[in-house]
């Protein structure tokens, strides 16, 4: 086997690889001899098939196998001997081959550039910092306060209205038969919260404490429980108590209810949560700033195959974004 460099320009390398006819014949003959020891053909005992018969039957197949393995070995040898740091998968093309003649192939490769890093200690990297979002913190605290407003039992007789919290038992039935998962006791339900299936909470508006209300509903066609999807049901709901929500308060009691020592601790936790939502964007900004600095101080050729690969990734990402 002969290996000769035919191109050395920039990051491009090409090599002409010649496998002599004698080499090929020797490898094919050796491989056919191996096949003959295990060949099982009609009219012959296993391993006793004449080499001429094995060659007639398997010659072309073995020749193709030998060519593939020889070229693979040649590519590996070339890369190792030339100490090539490949940027992408090399390409091997057979340029000349006829039975009885030498096989000539061309190995095309792209190598990685030599990169000299600048003095990293001299890089001036801008690290963006977001100011504390006071308005966002206040908004989040207000939302938490609204969601956790204290309730007070209504002692005076009146009808339940949207925004009230009712204490109920309920038992759901389809065609008069109770179904699994359709019953509960002492459940606190805020009317208008949309936490139950459509129509359930509306059916309790106007009810009074001590009254039993039959609420008729239809489960959505896409309901997660397939055996209930699209079916009509009646829920028997004894209304035990009606509670009304008090004013929302942002104080230590709210913090305690949410598991914090005091309001300051809750506020700090909210600030940290909001900041974490921007952490990925901030890291990306710092990364971009570092790359910009390196690009200004380091100069090297980029392998065209890597450039094309990066272009394809960006183009695919943009196409996906447009489709959504």
Would you call 276 helix, strand, or coil by DSSP?
helix
Q: Which residues of the chain have pLDDT under 70?
A: 324
In this structure, the answer to whether residues 205 and 97 fall within a common structural domain is no
Residues 35 and 162 placed together within one structural domain of the fold: no
pLDDT at 324 (0 to 100): 61
* Residue 15, both tokens: 């090599």
Residue 311: CB partners within 8 Å, gap ≥ 6? none
Q: What is the DSSP letter of 95?
A: E
Same domain (yes/no): 140, 284: yes
The CATH number assigned to the domain holding 228 equals: 3.10.50.40
Kindly state whether residues 146 and 235 are assigned to the same domain: no
Q: Are 99 and 25 in contact (CB under 8 A)?
A: no
Q: Which two tokens stand for residue 132?
A: 């504390």
* Judgement on whether residues 74 and 124 belong to the same structural domain of the protein: no
Q: How many helices (H) and strands (E) does the chain have?
A: 7, 9
Give bridge partners of residue 61 from the DSSP assignment.
Answer: none
* DSSP states along 145-168: HHHT--EEE--S-----TT-EEEE
What is the predicted pLDDT for the residue at 202? 95
Residue 157 sits in which domain range? 151-245
Total tally of structural domains belonging to the chain: 3
H or E stretch including 144?
helix 134-147
pLDDT in tens, 250-306: 999 999 999 999 999 999 999 988 888 888 888 888 888 888 888 888 888 888 988
Residue 315 is inside which H or E element, if any? helix 304-323
**Tokens 């971009």 map to which residue?**
288
Spatial contact of 73 and 65, defined as CB atoms under 8 Å apart: no
**Residues contacting residue 79 through CB under 8 Å, at least 6 positions apart:** 86, 90, 109
Helix, strand, coil shares, percent, the chain, to 5: 40, 25, 35
> What pLDDT does 42 receive?
83
Check whether residue 136 and residue 256 sit in a common domain.
yes
CATH number reported for the structural domain that contains residue 31 in this entry: 3.30.70.1050
Measured in Å, how far apart are the chain's first and last C-alpha atoms? 55
pLDDT in tens, 88-127: 999 999 999 988 899 999 999 999 998 888 887 887 777 7
Report helix, strand or coil for 29: helix
146 & 157 share domain: no
Contact 70, 19 (CB under 8 A): yes
Q: Report if residue 49 sits inside a domain.
A: yes
């Amino acid at each position: 086997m002969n290996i000769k460099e035919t191109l050395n320009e920039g990051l491009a390398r090409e090599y002409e690889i010649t496998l002599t006819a004698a080499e090929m014949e020797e490898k094919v003959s050796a491989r056919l001899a191996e096949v003959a020891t295990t060949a099982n053909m009609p009219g012959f005992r296993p391993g006793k098939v004449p080499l001429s018969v094995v060659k007639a039957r398997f010659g072309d197949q073995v020749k193709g196998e030998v060519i593939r393995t020889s070229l693979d070995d040649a590519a590996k040898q070339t890369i190792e001997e030339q100490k090539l740091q490949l940027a992408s998968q090399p390409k091997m093309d057979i340029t000349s081959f006829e039975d009885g003649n030498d096989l000539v192939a061309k190995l095309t490769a792209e190598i990685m550039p030599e990169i000299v890093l600048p003095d990293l200690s001299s890089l001036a990297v801008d690290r963006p910092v977001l100011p504390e979002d006071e308005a966002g913190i206040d908004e989040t605290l207000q939302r938490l306060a609204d969601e956790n407003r204290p309730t007070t039992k209504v002692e005076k007789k009146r009808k339940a209205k949207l925004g009230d919290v009712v204490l109920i038992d309920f038992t759901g039935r389809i065609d008069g038969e109770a179904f699994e998962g359709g019953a509960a006791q002492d459940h606190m339900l805020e009317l208008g919260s949309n936490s139950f299936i459509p129509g359930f909470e509306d059916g309790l508006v106007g009810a009074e404490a001590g009254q039993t209300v039959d609420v008729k509903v239809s489960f959505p066609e896409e309901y997660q429980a397939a055996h209930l999807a699209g079916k009509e049901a009646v829920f028997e709901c004894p209304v035990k108590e009606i509670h009304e929500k008090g004013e929302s308060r942002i104080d230590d009691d709210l913090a305690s209810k949410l598991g914090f020592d005091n309001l300051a601790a809750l506020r700090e936790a909210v600030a940290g949560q909001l900041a974490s939502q921007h952490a990925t964007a901030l890291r990306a900004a710092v990364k971009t700033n570092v790359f910009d600095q390196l690009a200004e101080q380091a100069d090297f050729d980029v392998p065209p195959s890597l450039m094309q690969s990066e272009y394809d990734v960006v183009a695919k990402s943009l196409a996906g974004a447009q489709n959504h």
